[in-house]
Structures are given as structure tokens and as C-alpha cells.
Amino acid sequence: MLEIGTQAHPLPHQDALYILLHRSQVLVEQDNQFLIPFTHFQPNAKMGAVYCGQWRQKDIFVCNFESIPKGFDEIGLRELLFQQDNDSYLLLSRAHQLATWNKDHQFCGRCGTAMREKHPTEHTKICPKCTLRHYPRISPCIIVSIRKGDHILLARGLHAPKGKFSNIAGFVEAGETLEQAVAREVREEVGLEVSNIQYIDSQPWSFPHQLMVGFFADYTSGDIAPAPGEIDEADWYHIDDLPHIPNSATISGQLILQHIKHIKS
């Protein structure tokens, strides 16, 4: 497991391993190896290395490259993430989110001053002029599997391919609890009321910085009314006769499988 720790962040060094990004792609060696030794690439001043923590006694850094160094292939973050076990998934997610933070906070959002220095022990940049702190952005999103007897609700978003169904999900609004966000999103997207909202699990979703927070809920009232411009179709599906659902490496797929198990028990 990645150790985040509170010690001073080291500078990039030769015994560390590096995760190299190129736009939203990850640079890999043979067999999609994404932890790259220092001697395998040409470090440069523009790569903006960010310390991610310790992994199996090795310091890990993430860097951004503007072009692909010789000898590397690139692979989409999403594709690579879903080939990993849970620990590697979390490491890659963290690396990508920290690189996004470093890239997106070049100037202070309040006064526009250039942000040069990183904090020695935390992932925060402090504006040298107005002292505003800039942390990596984490955006909570709820995702919910809704039960009605032996059926669960599945919906297809506007941009999802035909025949591919998933749970209701959406961003938490400012000043809202997670449970309020679940009730509001379900009401807005499919016109239903739910109760018995229970937290189940969470998963970082680095596209670019969501934290998916998964729930079960029970149907209370209402008829399905898909929100125009958001949901193309939604319906109740018997747990033994489901359409195409998300990969079980995603929290969406996991929630559905766990909910079925729960309903059958």
C-alpha cells in the first residue's frame, strides 16, 4: 500500500521510481510497466516532479512530459487503471491527481501571482503574495443503487452507448450532505423519492479528480421520469435479468453486484 506520511518530501533522486504522464496518457515500458526507474528516461527541468509517497520502500514521483521519450508506449489512464489490483489503482489515481494539481495551480486563483514553491511536507502551494493555499482539488460525487423489491433501477446517460446501463450519479453541491445529494440527484434525474440511504463504499475516480461515494437506497414513491438532456432511458430491472452493466473494477459495477447479493440474502 502507498504510504503517504508526514515527513519532508524528498527531491527527485536516483533510487526512486517515476510515473510518467503525457497529457492524459501514461507512459509505459514492456507489459504496461508504469513504475519507471530513473536511469530509463532523461529527466528535464520542465517535467515538474511531484512526490506521491512511499511504495514498497521506494519513493514515488509523478512527472509530466510534453513529448513521449524514446522507448516508451502510451496508454490511456482509464485503460491502465482497470488492469490493476486495488493498491496499484490507488497509487496511479493519486499520482494523476497530484500531477493535475501541480499543472493547474501555476498561478494564484485570488491574486494571479506565479506559484513557484511547493510546501516541504504537504501537497499545498502557498501564494507568496496573499498566502492563499492551493490544495489538490477533490470533487465528491455520489453514486447510488436503488432497490424496489427484487428490482434495481438502471439508467443510461445521454452520452452512454446504447444498451449500457448504470447507477444514478452526480456531483455534491456546496453546502449539501452526501445523503441530501443522493436524494436530490435521484429526484432530478429520474423523478423518484428514496429512503434508507446507506453508505457502502468509495473509489477515487481521477477523471480528473472525483471521489465517488457509493450508496444503496430504497424506492419510496414516484414514477420514473428521465430528466431531458441528462438521462436517455431508465427502468427497473429484475436482479436475475440485467442489461449490460459497468465493469466490476468500477464502483458502479461493484455497487450493483453487492446490491444483488444483499437483496438475495
Residues at the site binding Zn ion, with contacts judged by CB under 5 A: 108, 110-111, 113, 127, 129-130, 132
C-alpha to C-alpha distance for 203 and 86, rounded to whole angstroms: 10
CB closer to Zn ion out of 1 and 111: 111
Q: How far is the CB of 164 from Zn ion (least distance, A)?
A: 44
CB closer to Zn ion out of 26 and 108: 108
Q: How far is the CB of 108 from Zn ion (least distance, A)?
A: 3
CB closer to Zn ion out of 134 and 259: 134
Q: How far is the CB of 136 from Zn ion (least distance, A)?
A: 18
Amino acid at 16: A
Q: How far is the CB of 130 from Zn ion (least distance, A)?
A: 3
Q: How far is the CB of 39 from Zn ion (least distance, A)?
A: 39
In DSSP notation, 198-252 reads EEEEEEEETTTTEEEEEEEEEEEE----PPTTTEEEEEEEETTS--B---TTSHH
CB closer to Zn ion out of 130 and 158: 130
The stretches of the chain forming alpha helices (DSSP H) are 77-81, 86-104, 178-190, 251-264
CB closer to Zn ion out of 126 and 249: 126
Query: What's the helix, strand, coil split of the chain in %, to 5?
Result: 25, 35, 40
Residue pair 79/48 in contact by the 8 Å Cβ criterion: no
